[in-house]
Amino acid sequence: MKYVIVSSELSKNVIRAFFLIILILYSIQQQSYAQVSDRIPRWEIGLDALSLIDKNELPAYSLFGRFMLNPQAPKKTSLRLRLGAEGYAYLDSAFNEDKVGLDYRVNSFFVSAGIQRELLIFDKGSVYFGADLGYFRKVNLKDYTGDFGWNVVGHDYYRETNLRFAGILGYTHQLGNNFAISVESSLQTIYSHQKQDTDYVSTFNEDNIIISYENSTVKSWQSGITPFYQVLFSYRF
């Protein structure tokens, strides 16, 4: 018997629904555009479209927001914030002919904050630069049970945490008065801390016997250019 809870496909369906709502609101806005006031929107909220094509290393369930600090200035400065979380469980009690059961759980969390400032201004868009400081945490937990002539219980625990600093260059294009699309590239520096804990225990006798054990920790620094850091569809208000 097999159970899947909160799959990645469900994540995509939620994101697709959000973009559909944006298109509907955009259509309504275009019909009543003549009634829109000259007020400059200061708040902005949206989603990253990279999650739809599995090109985003960050959690699929994410919200991105910006707050404009100086709406009357020629070049705007905004605060940035992104919050994301994702989790699902895969429970399978009939994995294969060897009667191996597998419980697989994944949870991840991400938060970043930053600032951006316009560099070049055009009629319907602008080029901006900025920086984000983020924290990411991911946990994978696997539990195995099997019958290979002896009973075996396996446990595999993986945890990754990292701090990341991203210098950003982006372009945002206005779609009417309240909608926008933004494409960003970044130069990132990431400090990563990974921990792996794996063991297999024989339960053939009353006394559990550890027959395999692995415990490793890896710390590393990584730097690189990300051509598509975020592709954002957002609503301004």
Three-state secondary structure call for residue 50: helix
Task: Please give the mean pLDDT across all residues of the chain.
Answer: 79
152 and 146 Cβ atoms separated by less than 8 Å:
yes
Q: Name the residue ranges covered by the structural domains of the chain.
A: 38-236
Q: Count other Cβ atoms within 10 Å, centred on residue 137.
A: 15
Three-state secondary structure call for residue 53: helix
Residue 23: HSE in the Cβ half-sphere, 13 Å Cα cutoff: 6
Per-residue model confidence as pLDDT tens digits over 30-66:
544 444 456 788 999 998 888 777 667 777 778 899 9
107 and 134 Cβ atoms separated by less than 8 Å:
no
Q: What integer is the mean pLDDT of 197-202?
A: 74
Instruction: Please state which of the ranges 130-134, 187-191, 210-214 shows the lowest mean pLDDT.
Output: 210-214
- What CATH code would you report for 38-236? 2.40.160
pTM, to two decimals: 0.75
Is the torsion defined by CA of 53, 195, 6, 145 positive or negative? positive
pLDDT of residue 8 exceeding 60: no
